[in-house]
Structure 1
């Protein structure tokens, strides 16, 4: 049931994606003990890295002004109660990587380039087998063009991949005018793999309090349709690794992603709902399906439902759209779109 992802040989195609279950060594060990192929740590944000760098710079400047006769010198901002997120993350990477026998993938959440990029190599030095660059950039500036947004993504990917000597996967959103083409451009910029897709956290509205309410919702199987569609389109058009994420709840969801062409299937929501041990049920279900269909390995059926390399992808998508409308008409009556 093994697979290859980012050049790494994994024992299974199921991977724990970044989330609340991978915030401690014990949590990572519990995930690894279920048979998962790899574990992605929770994301460290570029803002956390930059804030710590600024704090370290200020400490250095204060120390520059000290003198040898100062036998006891404690900078006022060196508060022992202040947690250093970057240092804590590095420590977790080091301890967790040595505690498990599967690859540990670090995750950096970024929206731009900057000095934080240098921190990526520190993660590799600490024991991360690979890096997932989670690009979360919502262009609130309405004057920003689509080309500007894409260029920022490409700059981030180029900077990170040049800074590290481990594989880099890019987690991106589907909200581009041409997601497939842009995915290929990210690979050209240096990405070793693509994680499809990130989910923007869209707030709710409290109509009684007249307030915007932030929150996080777990994914549902319906969320798998968009990433599955683009994975199927990309499978035969790139040699980069493809990771599926969002919408995994049952073994059938795992199978569907693999049939579309995913190298690995990532999940967090199902494990949060049912516990880390639920990964065993997903893997058992995958194994049962393979036995029933007489597939001996994942590679035997991966990409069977991907868009054929010689197919007109645009025409195929259009025909699927028309077929869906015809089916809807037959099921629900007249439907106009």
Structure 2
């Protein structure tokens, strides 16, 4: 079976790609991912806040004491004693590239336009095959318009694309007024691919300590319905690649995502639960399904169940919505929802 696929212009040996997670912080884990059959690896994220903090720390050390004595204005500490940015992240990319033969995709996580986007250049120089922009942005200002929010995404992408030549993917949230239009605009502004979707982690409240606490819930298979639907809608309407993420736990999930048009399926929660070697199980089950259903390659599967040939996707959505409600069986608690 030919499992090869193309993502961001890169030829991958498999559509199974571990997404950004703490697992990639260890070089041995990245090697294990390659050995288990991963087509590429998305590195853990480098956050905008980390880069801003480093910048201000350097500025503090370079200017500390300059107001105390006139002669201090000519004195600066040795710049090699301070890190301009998280050098460990760049070193990690270099080591990963030396260790494995599959593409290494770096991840920048931020929400505003600024100097942190210039770090993309250093990531490229470190050897990353591509860059994923994880724009994690939860607007809370009621005076901020949807136009301003969307333009922020465009500005971040434009800034990064002007700085690098490696492919750039944008990881999106699903909470746009018109996701299809936003995807089209990013595609037109040079995004080499879209990752659907980012999961927002809502905090919890400790009623005893009266403190807000971080609370991370790993995804369940039900979470795949949202990216499944939108990839089906977008397939064939944008030039860039489509990556499916969230809720992919077994080979059937992988197959469904490929059927609606995904170039790759990204894995996170399932690997945190089952371990990195679970990639082998997914690949084995994928191959068996392809053999039973007489598919010779992943490319034969891709897009076969998309909405590309549907003249009115909105009407299709309404029809499926009504059909789901009409076919609900209260005895089984199950709703038939074909994609």
Specify if TM > 0.5: yes
Whether contact under 8 Å (2:62, 2:77) holds in the other structure is: no
Per the TM alignment, residue 63 of structure 1 is displaced from its structure 2 partner at its CA by 10
Deviation per residue, 1:231-277 (Å, 9 max, x gap): 00000211210000000111111111101110000011000001110
- 2:193 aligns with 193
Number of positions where the alignment pairs a residue of Structure 1 with one of Structure 2: 328
Structure 1 residues 293 and 52: alpha-carbon distance in aligned structure 2, compared to 1, 3 A threshold: same
**Counterpart in 2 of 1:29?**
31
CA deviation profile, 1:56-112 (whole Å, cap 9, x unmatched): 3344446996699x9xx967xx68xxx886111011011111110000000000100
Measured against aligned partners, the alpha-carbon deviations of 1:281-327 in whole angstroms (never above 9, x if no partner) come to 11111111111111000111111110023421000000000000001
Mapped contact 1:231–1:260 kept (Cα < 8 A):
yes
**Structure 1, unaligned runs of 5 or more:** none
Change (3 A) 1:59 1:234: same
CA shift, 1:175, in A, is 0.5
Measure, in 2, the Cα distance between the counterparts of 1:95 and 1:308.
Answer: 41
* 1:261 equivalent in structure 2: 261
Unpaired runs of 5+ residues, structure 2, are: none
| 1:88 paired residue number | 88
Q: Deviations over 1:26-77 (max 9, x none)?
A: 2211212111000000000011112212223344446996699x9xx967xx
Shift of 1:208: 4.8
- The residue number in structure 2 matching 1:102 is 102
Give the equivalent residue in structure 2 for 1:270.
270
Which residue in 1 is equivalent to 2:294? Answer: 294
Q: 1:145 to 1:159 in 2, by over 3 A?
A: same
Shift of 1:140: 1.3
Normalising by the residue count of structure 1, what TM-score does the alignment of the two structures yield? 0.91
TM-score, normalised with respect to structure 2:
0.90
Counterpart of 2:236 in structure 1 is: 236
**Aligned position for 2:50:** 48
Shift of 1:168: 0.2
Matches within 5 A, 1:129-168: 129-168=129-168
Counterpart CA distance in 2 for 1:314 and 1:206 is: 42
